Amino acid sequence: MLLLSKKQRVEFIESVAYPLPAMVLVTLMIYIPFALSGFYAFTEWNGIARAPKWIGTANFAGIFKGESDFFRTLMFTFKYTVLFMIFSNVIALALSLALVKKFTLANTLRGLFFVPYIMSMTIVGFIWRFIFSSGFDTFLAVTGWDIFRWSWLGDGNLAFFSVAMVGIWQSIGFYIVLYIAGLESMPADVLEASVVDGAAGFTRLRRVILPLLAPSIATCMFMSLTNSLKVFDIILALTRGGPAGSTYSVTLGIYRDAFQNNRYGLGSAESLLFFVIVLILTQIVMRVFHAEDR
């Protein structure tokens, strides 16, 4: 340090001082709670007792023996994730291809599609809960269609599709923005050359546009994967896990076990196990799309 010039010492101090507050906050808010959660996963604690009781791997053994609903909630989360990833990306891509064209209301429609994304998921959930419960009665009176007679939040199967539909509707604007950015960054000469060569319609989309859009597709697929795996607030606002626990996601199940049932050890074990599953899934998705980009 003494051998450094005054300018180099200032630069060294700045390089340490500027990121230090962020590093401290990240350590306090993420790394320390993560380490404590890993510790509590091997204990039995109700959140009130002075000290947790060490029980080793009993929480994990209970999960695999079916003493908790972890695997049932995991199956719901996987089904939601698959449905969310497919429809959010397909619909967003289709709308992006339409909105990237030059017409009068293009920018207005882009803004309208993005509005739900900037709204709180909890607010969106309550809005759609009102629509499903009261709004559909109005549609039924006007149209007489039987689809509006269905119990969209009272039937287990329909509740799953209701939650997925609202989640897709709320987040689709974000993926539209990403796809439009990818479409507008494509080299114009390549697109013009494809038209000259006779490529049109679906052939042009499959052989020219989609390969050039591969980085955006990979980004959207990864983002939709992570967003759908951690689904929580929209279910809490719409169904609270009902009916009969049919719409409990993993994150909502962890919240119930830890903070409602006061089984912090079990909730920590479930969260740690879910972390490993998400880590494996994200690595697989990243490797798949990285291989396709080559």
- The predicted-structure confidence for 212-248, as pLDDT tens digits, reads as follows 898 899 899 999 999 999 999 899 989 989 888 899 9
Beta-carbon count within 10 A of 215 CB: 13
**Residue bearing tokens 């689904």:** 231
Q: Over range 54-60, report the average pLDDT.
A: 94
Token digits of residue 290: 């990285």
Strand partners, 53: 44
pTM over 0.95? The answer is no
Average pLDDT in the 122-140 region? 86
CA 260 – CA 8 distance, rounded (Å)? 54
pLDDT of 280 strictly over 60 = yes
Q: Are 114 and 90 in contact (CB under 8 A)?
A: no
Q: What is the pLDDT of residues 19-44, one digit of tens each?
A: 899 999 999 999 999 999 999 999 99
Confidence class for position 2, pLDDT limits 50, 70, 90? low
Scan for tokens 């199940």, then name that residue: 253
What's the pLDDT band for 286 if we cut at 50, 70, 90?
A: confident
What CATH number has the domain spanning 68-293?
1.10.3720.10
Domain boundaries, the chain: 68-293
